[in-house]
Each structure stands twice: as structure tokens, then as C-alpha cells.
Amino acid sequence: MNRLGLCALLGITLGTGCSGIPDASEASMEISRGMNYEEIFVMLSDYEMEREFRGDVTALQFCSGEDNDTEYVIVWFIGDQVEGVTQYHQEIPDDERCGWFFKEVDWAQAPDAVKTELYIE
């Protein structure tokens, strides 16, 4: 099990045994095409998350950071399997939680296989 998975499994939070959770972009490097939804959900359990659905496709967003250093990652699923990962940065107001500022998913920015599944050009 990787470090990120171990920290998530143990439920260790910022400032304890694992020196906090990695940035969202760092965590996204541990996500591979073909992983299943449950694996990803457990791996990301210490992050704020939001899901949007369209047909058989799920876009799971998670975030980290604060103020002008806030990272957002979208994990794209077809059915139960990861198809790809995208990310964006966004400035948020001081002392606010990143999870309050998730953008609405832009389905046209999804990986090609997801767009094909949704018939988006």
C-alpha cells in the first residue's frame, strides 16, 4: 500500500503521523486508469470531495490548499473504473475551505473516452 493510501486508511489528519495529507495534485499522481471507485474513495477520504453524474459517468472532484494556492482535481469514471484525471487551480477567499468552491463540472473538458461515452464533441 502506498503512503497516501496508508494515511487515508488510518484516517490520519493534518499535523499528525503522515505530516498532513499531500496536495491534491500530488495525490492525483497515485491514481491510475482502471482503478475502481472504492479504491479512489478510500484513498481520498481525507480530502473534501464532490460528485457529479451524467449517465454512466461520474466526475469526482477533490481539493487541497487555501487562498491563492488551491488545487482541484477531477477523477473521471466510466462505470466503476477510472478513465482519467484533470486538474485546475482557483483562488478562494482567505480562511475559507476549498470544498465550498468546487466549480460545476465542464463535461467538455473530460478525457476523450468520457466524451465519447457522453457523445460530446
**Domains of the chain, first to last:** 3-118 (3.30.160)
> What span, in angstroms and rounded, lies between the C-alpha atoms of 63 and 88?
10
Per-residue pLDDT tens digits for 23-67: 999 999 999 999 999 999 999 999 999 999 999 999 999 999 988
What pLDDT does 67 receive? 80
How are strands ordered across the β-sheet holding 70-78? Answer: 48-54, 57-64, 70-78, 81-90
Per-residue pLDDT tens digits for 75-97: 999 999 999 999 999 999 998 99
Q: pTM of this prediction?
A: 0.81
Residue 20's pLDDT band (cuts 50, 70, 90): confident
pLDDT above 80 (res 74):
yes
